[in-house]
Structure 1
């Protein structure tokens, strides 16, 4: 299907934001708003976001990617992913205005863009679904545990590690120091005080728990961020119950890295997205 691309300029507070909408020639009812993780802009690593938007538009699904405040060509101060809720709303408003046939929207995000989308979604009835790739739930003790669990196991399986060991090129002191530091950090994790702000994983869980639509989770098996998400959610009863519901669909590419940088990985993610968005039921 043919499509055209439209440059959009819209406002969020006092800042002018920039976006690109890829719009099919035929009217469509569902669109995908790509929430960029930072520090990043609307093209994406290896043009991932641009190619995704065009793939969706070529199959009859409108897509928009944008720079939030302080990123790319948009005005304003650079901000943390937890402070872009207004940017997402402004972009969604501009998307719906640019494509009046839309009745609902799916938010698509990678890394902390996925986390921002998950925390935004419960507050906007126009959001029908979420596609979350390698969601960011990073905490100091969480990344320490994940590194201890996966990094050192992977090294022991690596032929290069054993070759270094045989050649006497292995840094025993440095590796031991690094491992002990990770162990101390992992063991230092403790439940927050009653009055303390909830951790990022808990805020993420609360956002997804409050969202009534459906969610597609895509994990790169070789990515530490994706592994940390799986470890955190797999070891927390409330997360396990939430992600076991019929509203959540999982996909995994075992060899894929954080940004799905190979063409085959990128194309598979785009096709999974298209299939899932197309099959998504109408607005409840």
Structure 2
């Protein structure tokens, strides 16, 4: 059964939804960008119903200044108190829950890392946002993918006779081509110590709780995360620890359509661990 409820965070009233289930492990869904708790095209609401049907209670909420919640929207970098208050409200609304796993896509995943320590038992981070100076959005992506992704894309096209034929026939937009080729000159740069990518990477290295990282490898935000945190990811994959990395051959930033089955399966695996 689904219930609407509210809780307070630093004097503001926040709106939340609980999908009831008997399990002692619960899922906290943290929304990314300025997305309301139901998600784009009700994606998070449908995910919550699916997870609850499998026996795990699910708690979703609108952070301050979003959707039905009061207060000012300070973005994901100031959402630590919202998440902490949601964890406490979840435990109060579902007292049988002894273990809480939090899921966040895009900058919601970044927020779950940035605001550690939180009273959570495990994290599921999907396509974490690593761009500095930009506000993540639930549907929009950065104007260009990272240079490494562009290099791979154009190299594959240069080897494709059909693409060369389209170029000769004038069927390719030269402005887009030149824009993409300009990115090939960009050498990968190590993350500077005050950058978002560096802070996320540093937190990952120090976390003690289990973490699952989900990456849609055709998604620009995921590509940027892979480029920024590449050495750490390579080390993790060669030296299994408390961090699990799962990759999906998809361009869907929010795991829409058929990708929703894969996302739900990964979340259920983390909940059952």
TM-score relative to the length of structure 1: 0.82
Structure 2 residue 135 is the aligned partner of structure 1 residue 133: no
| Distance (whole Å) between structure 1 residues aligned to residue 149 and residue 234 of structure 2 | 21
User: Structure 1 residues 174 and 137, CA, compared in 2 at 3 Å: closer, same or farther?
Assistant: closer
SS in structure 1 opposite 2:121? Answer: strand
The equivalent residue for 1:15 is 12
The equivalent residue for 1:114 is 109
User: Structure 1 residues 191 and 30, CA, compared in 2 at 3 Å: closer, same or farther?
Assistant: closer
The equivalent residue for 1:38 is 33
Runs of 4+ with >6 A deviation: 157-160
1:5 aligned residue (2, 7, 11): 2
- 8 Å CA contact retained: 2:15, 2:69: yes
- 8 Å CA contact retained: 2:130, 2:225: yes
User: Structure 1 residues 156 and 49, CA, compared in 2 at 3 Å: closer, same or farther?
Assistant: farther
TM-score relative to the length of structure 2: 0.85
User: Structure 1 residues 73 and 153, CA, compared in 2 at 3 Å: closer, same or farther?
Assistant: farther
Structure 2 residue 202 is the aligned partner of structure 1 residue 209: no
User: Structure 1 residues 265 and 173, CA, compared in 2 at 3 Å: closer, same or farther?
Assistant: closer
The equivalent residue for 2:154 is 152
How far residue 149 of structure 1 moved from its aligned partner, in angstroms, is 2.7
| Distance (whole Å) between structure 1 residues aligned to residue 267 and residue 38 of structure 2 | 18
The equivalent residue for 1:79 is 74
| Distance (whole Å) between structure 1 residues aligned to residue 106 and residue 59 of structure 2 | 18
How far residue 14 of structure 1 moved from its aligned partner, in angstroms, is 2.7
* Aligned length, in residue pairs: 262
| Distance (whole Å) between structure 1 residues aligned to residue 81 and residue 160 of structure 2 | 45
| Distance (whole Å) between structure 2 residues aligned to residue 44 and residue 221 of structure 1 | 21
The equivalent residue for 2:167 is 165
User: Structure 1 residues 76 and 164, CA, compared in 2 at 3 Å: closer, same or farther?
Assistant: farther
**Unpaired segments ≥5 residues, structure 2:** 134-143
| Distance (whole Å) between structure 1 residues aligned to residue 145 and residue 175 of structure 2 | 22
Between 144-153 and 35-44, the greater mean CA deviation after superposition: 144-153
Structure 2 residue 245 is the aligned partner of structure 1 residue 250: yes
**Would you tell me which structure has more helix in proportion to its own residues?**
1
1:94 aligned residue (89, 98, 103): 89
